[in-house]
């Protein structure tokens, strides 16, 4: 048995207290004749032809969007290398930390790195936030141990096996025991420059390096991890 519809006169129409019909009551509105005929012709086409036409319309929209981008006041998009996560000084710049994106040409620095092949075995020369466009100023070269050091600083090596797990950019205090068995701080707020081949390289003041080396030979070094 067919279900009654709102067009069926047997179906009562609800009225508000005033007695007037509300605009959403009654039969649904019909399409204009032009749209109605167009929809009939569209759904009368073979499914494969409809798919081809939709693909053609999508391609046309992409071409129009590309032409609009090329006419943008910021210039056409160009390929650049962008960091995918926060990178610490001395950290390797490779497919795990960098990807290629397209940015408007006039918003890209002149020294931006556009080819992943130009990275080689480079490392970050400074802290880079995720989404940063890489430039030649951000590259420390293959040997990032000394490339990121400021004036008056030195890189001190410590065997990774003697330290807790660390990562580049992490900060810590260096501590050692004195002759009376008490602890003493050798250096404060030391930065981990790089970790290579089982060696942790620490950024220390150049004048502190001999004291740290002597304490390491005599008593061994201990580290106190600091907040980022």
pLDDT at 172 over 90: yes
Q: Are 204 and 186 in contact (CB under 8 A)?
A: no
Nearest one of 77, 81, 75 to 131, comparing CA atoms: 81
Of the ranges 12-16, 22-26, 111-115, which one carries the lowest mean pLDDT score? 12-16
pLDDT at 175: 92
CA atoms lying within 13 Å on the CB side of residue 39: 7
Rounded Cα gap, residues 122 and 91, in angstroms = 9
pLDDT at 1: 47
Q: What are phi and psi of 83, to 5 degrees?
A: -70, 140
Q: Are 106 and 75 in contact (CB under 8 A)?
A: yes
pLDDT band at 29 (very low <50, low <70, confident <90, very high): low
Beta bridge partners of 172: 190, 225
Rounded Cα gap, residues 131 and 12, in angstroms = 62
Rounded Cα gap, residues 137 and 89, in angstroms = 12
Instruction: Summarize the confidence of residues 43-60 as an average pLDDT.
Output: 81
Number of Cβ atoms within 10 Å of the Cβ of 60:
10
Q: CA torsion, points 23, 24, 25, 31, in degrees to nearest 10?
A: 100
Straight-line distance from the first to the last Cα atom of the chain, in angstroms, rounded to the nearest whole number:
73
Nearest one of 223, 151, 141, 142 to 190, comparing CA atoms: 223
pLDDT at 139 over 50: yes
Q: Are 213 and 154 in contact (CB under 8 A)?
A: no
Number of Cβ atoms within 10 Å of the Cβ of 26:
11
pTM: 0.45
pLDDT at 101 over 50: yes
């Amino acid at each position: 048995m067919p279900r009654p519809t709102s067009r069926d006169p047997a179906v009562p129409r609800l009225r508000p207290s005033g007695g007037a019909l509300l605009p959403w009551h009654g039969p649904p509105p019909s399409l204009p004749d032009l749209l109605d005929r167009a929809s009939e012709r569209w759904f009368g086409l073979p499914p494969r032809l409809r798919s081809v036409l939709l693909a053609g319309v999508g391609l046309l929209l992409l071409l129009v969007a590309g032409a609009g981008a090329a006419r943008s006041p910021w210039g056409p998009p160009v390929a650049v290398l962008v960091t995918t996560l926060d990178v610490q000084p001395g950290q390797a710049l490779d497919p795990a930390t960098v990807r290629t994106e397209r940015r408007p040409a006039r918003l890209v620095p002149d020294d931006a790195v556009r080819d992943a092949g130009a990275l080689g075995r480079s490392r970050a020369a400074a802290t880079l936030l995720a989404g940063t466009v890489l430039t030649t100023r951000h590259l420390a070269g293959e040997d990032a141990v000394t490339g990121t050091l400021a004036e008056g600083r030195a890189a001190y090596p410590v065997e990774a096996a003697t330290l807790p797990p660390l990562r580049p950019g992490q900060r810590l205090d260096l501590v050692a025991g004195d002759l009376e068995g008490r602890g003493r701080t050798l250096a404060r707020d030391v930065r981990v420059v790089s970790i290579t081949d089982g060696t942790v390289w620490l950024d220390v003041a150049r004048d502190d390096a001999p004291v740290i080396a002597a304490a390491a030979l005599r008593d061994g070094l201990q580290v106190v991890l600091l907040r980022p």
